[in-house]
Structures are given as structure tokens and as C-alpha cells.
Amino acid sequence: MRHVLVLNGPNLRRLGTREPDVYGVQTFADLEALCRETGRRLSLHVDVRQTDDEAEMIRWVHEAADSRLPIVINPAAFTHYSYALRDALAQRTAPLVEVHISNPAAREEFRHNSVVAGVADGTIAGFGLYSYVLALQAVAEMLAREEAR
């Protein structure tokens, strides 16, 4: 069973109470359960993490690069300005999918730019928590293609 990190940036632990009109009413615990259940169906061991600390996020990304672990990442606010996170993600050694609950392109202009998108295999956004399901499916497919080579 392949290990996958699902990394979440600032404020995502507040799902369910933070702007429910944008992010929905499901909680972070609901997100964790959804990711783990999706992982089980896809034969992936999913480790879901959240931090409000940029340095901790970067340490997790380095851990993934050193261990050749795939990443699904919702950088949250780090998406728009963290060149340090982007540089860490550029060192990846396994599939990387950027994910967003809302559609940043349909929101305020400052949310339109992702500094991490250019180093990801792809971005999935706007499908609520289901964005994570799609991202994990994409990772599973990329891993299967790698193993078939």
C-alpha cells in the first residue's frame, strides 16, 4: 500500500465554521475521514495533516521529497504568496496535486494566482471536499502508470 500525504494550510482546521457559504459545513474531521476512506478504496495509506505554520508545512514537503511520497496539497493562503513553499515543492520526487475546496479563479482577484501550480502535476478546485477525492484518484492513477513502466 502506497503512502500519500494530504497537506492542508492555514485555517483549514476551521472547516465547518469558517465561511460556510464558501467552504461548506463539513468539518476538518469529515475531510480526514473522506480522505482516509478514499485512500482505502484506492489502496493508498493517507496521512492527513494541517498547519497554520509555513515552516512546518515546508518540513513536511521536505519529508515527502526525501521519502518519495506523493502529496495532495491545499496550500490555502500559502497558495498566493509562499515562494518558500513553491521552492520546497519543486524538489518533489513523486506525484503532486494541488487542491482547493472553492474555485479561487471565481473569487477575489488576489486568489487568482497560485505560485505553487507551476510545480504541481495538476490542480483540482471548486468541487468542495470532493476535490480531495479527485486529487487522490489522480495520484493513484499516476502511481499506477509509474509502476506499469
Residue 32 has pLDDT above 90, yes or no: yes
CATH at 20: 3.40.50.9100
**Options 3, 83, 100, 132, the catalytic residue:** 100
Contact status, residue 29 vs residue 93, Cβ threshold 8 Å = no
Residue 22 has pLDDT above 80, yes or no: no
Residue 23 has pLDDT above 90, yes or no: no
Q: What is the pLDDT of residues 78-103, one digit of tens each?
A: 999 899 999 999 999 999 999 999 88
The verdict on whether 23 is a catalytic residue reads: yes
What is the tally of structural domains in the chain?
Answer: 1
Q: How far apart are CA 118 and CA 78, in angstroms?
A: 14
Residue numbers of the domain that contains 88:
2-148
- Which residues partner with 3 through β-bridges? 45
* pTM attached to this predicted model: 0.93
| Strand-strand pairing, 44-50 and 2-8 | parallel
Do the annotations mark residue 103 as ligand-binding? no
| Type of residue found at 134 | L
- If you search the block for the grid coordinates 465547518, which residue do you land on? 16
Do the annotations mark residue 87 as ligand-binding? yes
Q: What is the pLDDT of residues 56-85, one digit of tens each?
A: 999 999 999 999 999 999 999 999 989 999
The verdict on whether 81 is a catalytic residue reads: no
